[in-house]
Amino acid sequence: MENRTSSSKEWIYKEYVNREDLVLHAPYEPEMEFYNAVKSGDIAKVKTYLKQDFTSTPGLGRLSDNDLRNFRYHFIITAAMISRSCIEAGLSHEQAYSLSDFYIQKADRLDTLAKIDRLHDDMVLSYTELMSNLKASSMYSKPVIKCINYIYAHLHMRITLKDLSKEVSLSESYLSRLFKQETGVSISEYISVQKIETAKNMLMYSDYSPAQIASILGYPSQSYFTECFKKATGSTPKHFK
C-alpha cells in the first residue's frame, strides 16, 4: 500500500469523524431545550419530551413526499444534532458516532412510523443515560480535558507525551502523573485504547480496509496494527470486519 502523507491522513480522519455534518436550519427554542436536556443527562426532563410521539412533533419540515422516508430523514437529523451536542458536552467522538451509526442503520431497516418513533425514544434515552453517567463520573482537570481533546483530534498521527506536554504547558513528568491519577490509565494506554476503538468503528461502519485504517490511524505498519488489535479484542481486524 502506498504511503499516505500526514496531511492526507489528517483529511481522511477528520472527514470520517465529522461525517455527521448536515446543513440545517436553525432549530427553534423548544428544540434547543430538548438537546440541552439530553446533553446534560437530565433523564426525567427528557422523558417528559418523549411523551409526545416523534412523528407528530410540530414544526418538522417536509423533507420527502413519502411519510416513512420523511421521518427517516428527520431521525438522521436528530441523531446528528444529539451526537454533536453530546460531544460538545464531553462525550467521546467514538461513543457518540458509534451510537449514531448504530441507530441510523436500524432506522434504515424499519418499515413503519410507529417503529421509527419507538427507536427514536430509545436512541434519545441511550444518549441521555450516557451523559448522565458521564456527569456522575469524576470531573477531569482542564489540562487532562485538553489532552483528551488533542488526542481525539490527532489520532491520525503519532502522539507523544512531549506533544501533549507542550499543548498544556506542563512538564512531561507532572502531566504523566496527573493524567494517570485522573483517568486511571497512562497516556500511552489511553491513546492505544482510543485508536483501537476508532479502528473498530471504522471496520464496522466504513468501507476502509484494515491496511487503510492502519495507515489512517498512524500505525507504523499493518502487521503492528493487527498485533495491537488482536491483543485488545482477541480478533484480527479482518475477522472483526
CA dist., res. 163 & res. 182, Å (int): 19
pLDDT 10s digits, 10-33: 777 766 666 554 444 444 567 788
With 0-12 / 13-18 / 19 or more C-beta atoms within 10 angstroms meaning exposed / middle / buried, residue 22 is: exposed
pLDDT at 148 over 80: yes
Report the Cα–Cα distance between both ends of the chain, in Å, rounded: 19
pLDDT reported for residue 23: 43
Q: Is 39:88 a contact under the CB 8 Å cutoff?
A: yes
Judged by average pLDDT, the poorest of 54-63, 73-82, 146-155, 189-198 is: 54-63
CA dist., res. 149 & res. 15, Å (int): 17
**DSSP secondary-structure letter at 160?**
-
CA dist., res. 45 & res. 124, Å (int): 12
Q: What is the mean pLDDT of residues 118-138?
A: 85
Q: What is the mean pLDDT of residues 174-180?
A: 96
DSSP string, 27-44: PPHHHHHHHHHHHTT-HH
- What are the distances in angstroms from CA 190 to CA 88, 101, 148, 159, 205? 20, 23, 9, 11, 22
**Could you give the domains of the chain?**
19-136 (no CATH), 139-240 (1.10.10.60)
- Percentage, residues of the chain above pLDDT 70: 88
Q: What is the mean pLDDT of residues 207-233?
A: 93
Side chain identity at residue 157, one-letter code: M
